[in-house]
Chains A and B, each alone.
Chain A
Amino acid sequence: MNTNVKPVIDIRNLKVYFYVKAGTVKAVDGVTLAIEPGVKLGLVGESGSGKTTMALALMRMVRPPATIEGELFLDGVDILKLSEEEMRRVRLSELAMIPQGAMNSLNPVMRIRDQILDGMIDHGVRMSRSEANQKVEELLDIVELPKKVARMYPHELSGGMKQRVCVAIAISMRPKVLIADEPTSALDVVIQRQVMETITRLVKNLNLSMILIGHDMGLMAQSVDRIAVMYPGKLMEVGDVRDIFAEPLHPYTQALINSLPVLGKRGVFNGIPGVPPSVINPGPGCPFNDRCPKVIEGLCIQKMPPFREIKPGRWVACHLYEGVN
């Protein structure tokens, strides 16, 4: 990995806390992560580990009562410091997101055409009627949909088609970064693969950076360049996809990869013993300590391991790699 390239996304010590009756939910608790231009990063983690919250924080769409702290640089600009209106303009034109559960991501009472165009219009794009029609056709074509879809309503489309429309909208202004939150989880396996192929092809052709969120390590492996492993509120390990699979360092990553069904040994799905820790009032030690097979008594219970870059491009938060450099 070339470390001289300036990252397009540079997240520093990001903290997103929700305030609920039971206490403070530290959904994202000190995440540091950088993404270079054109890189596809997969963000994996069990349900509730804070993946969606991360995505929403990047879009600055976390709903109160919540606080966001830290720094979020997009191309060198800390977007946490932008005004509401400036941030609105960043959405779609620079940072685009396909939300989780995209089956219902389209307004049921608006035609597809209008839903493709309104984002551009609100970003000041001026088009004549015929230019607009042409733009809509072009975008539908890019995501492999027939142009008659423009006149349709969401309920007239299948799940895969709706998801393609969402992709068309997300790339309509050529953003720098595309955040896709489990974009295909609601679809069946065949459609999932087709839509995923379309997304990766577009990201490559348009040279976008992408954050692909999911919990399926297998699907991830085929679609991304780098993987970030999240465990409630924190990153455990980040590295190139090949390195991670070849030599997972963090015990949690190892458990995740071991839990994958192995080809030839069908039906073997180990799962990971234990449950993820509560993000309400977490203890002081490593969050994985109660499930970790390599736990170091004392140290791992009392002290949170720092998230460190142990070699270029490879980050780990684990006491086992304390001395390594």
Chain B
Amino acid sequence: MRLSYVIRRVFFVFMVIWTAATINFVLPRLTGRDPIKEQLMQQIASAGRKPEDAEQMWRKYNDLFGLDKPLWQQYLSYMSSVARLDFGYSINSYPRTVMEIIIARGRLTLPFLSVAIFIAFVTGILLGALLGWNKTPKWISAIVVPPLMVFSSVPQFLVALVLIYFVAFRAKLFPLGDPYPKTMIEDWSNPAFLAKYAYHAVLPILSVVIVEASGWALGMRAMMVTVEGEDYATFAEAKGLKNSRIFFRYLMRNALLPSLTGLALRLGFIITGAAVTETFFNYSGIGSTLSTAISTFDYFLLYGICLIMVVSIALATFIMDMIYPLLDPRIAYRGQRG
């Protein structure tokens, strides 16, 4: 991999984040009105907050947007706040800052969701590769593929509901919801808490894995069939290679590449991707925070989450861009040529 390639990619990440932040800055100004100010005053009045609170929020608000200064200065001070990941205070949950809320909520969903995405990807890819392999007996595909098609196309909430009803409510194997027992306090350094968190996460993870693994498996199966039709697959067999080598090094290795791009995109949406699971299993994670922020017009929180989303998508893409040339030599080559 060339240095110029890395530099170009890093530059790209910054451009994306910068553009998103700028849009965040510009959009409210295009309306001519000041939705933030209106909303802020209304919220403060209706929540019956103390005037000092309003005063401090105002100061922060002016700080962020520097309404009395020229536009370019407003922009600069806004950008420097953003660079420090300082999105100001939440309008509804003052005095908590937007970043505090994002971290507190993200902590609940991120661990189980990343585990779920990882399990879904690995099982889906392996299953799909086996199903698409021409050495796998046909009857196995005939049995396994139809359920996969169903699982990959039913809405995730249906899977969640079915799991909750049969596994949690009827069989009582797992709790009905909540990230941890209501009687416990959230303490990530307490092993007992971690154990409870993991126990509570089993069904949410399962609901994600069932749906997403089916999708990965079907995509991978189709890709395997395509790769098997390539001349290098024929030549590999003509070379008298062992089945395991053909399967892993020739077929799966090549069929995997498009799925990796898909995984990068999926990881980019890791923060928002859990909305359904969060709703049905009663997790107050980022997903539900985002929908609350939208419905209550908590602009600062909304902007903060949006920007974090953009950053995470840009970062996930960047990481994939760094790994991809190692997996597919043709990419690095194209990069060198510009």
Contact = CB atoms under 8 A, between A and B. Distances in A.
Given A108-B328, A108-B330, A153-B330, A119 B231 contact: no
Nearest to B229: A63
A61 B230 CA distance: 14
Q: What's the interface size class on B, roughly? A: 20 to 34
B241 interface: yes
Contact of A107 (B134, B237, B240, B249): B249
Contacts of A156: 333
A5 interface: no
A90 B241 CA distance: 11
B132 to A, nearest CB: 14
B239 A169 contact: yes
B249 A119 contact: no
A260 interface: no
Interface string B196-235: 0000000000000000000000000000000000111011
Interface stretch (A75-83, A96-104, A261-269): A96-104
Residue of A98, A122, A123, A156 most packed against chain B (CB within 10 A): A122
Contacts, number: 81
A106 B235 contact: yes
Q: For B230, B238, B254, which residue has the most chain A Cβ atoms within 10 angstroms? A: B238
Contacts of A93: 240
B241 A108 contact: no
A92 B246 CA distance: 15
Interface residues of A, number: 33
B230 A109 contact: no
Contacts of B327: 109
Contacts of A61: 234, 237-238
B253 interface: yes
Given A103-B231, A122-B240, 7 more contacts: A63-B134, A88-B241, A105-B231, A107-B249, A118-B245, A155-B329, A155-B330
22 contacts: A90-B240, A91-B240, A92-B238, A92-B239, A93-B240, A96-B238, A97-B235, A98-B235, A99-B231, A99-B238, A102-B231, A102-B235, A104-B232, A106-B232, A107-B232, A107-B236, A108-B254, A108-B328, A108-B329, A119-B241, A155-B330, A169-B239
Interface of A: 59, 61, 63, 88-93, 96-110, 118-119, 122-123, 153, 155-156, 166, 169
9 A-B pairs closest in CB distance: A91-B240, A119-B239, A92-B240, A97-B238, A105-B235, A104-B231, A153-B329, A105-B231, A99-B234
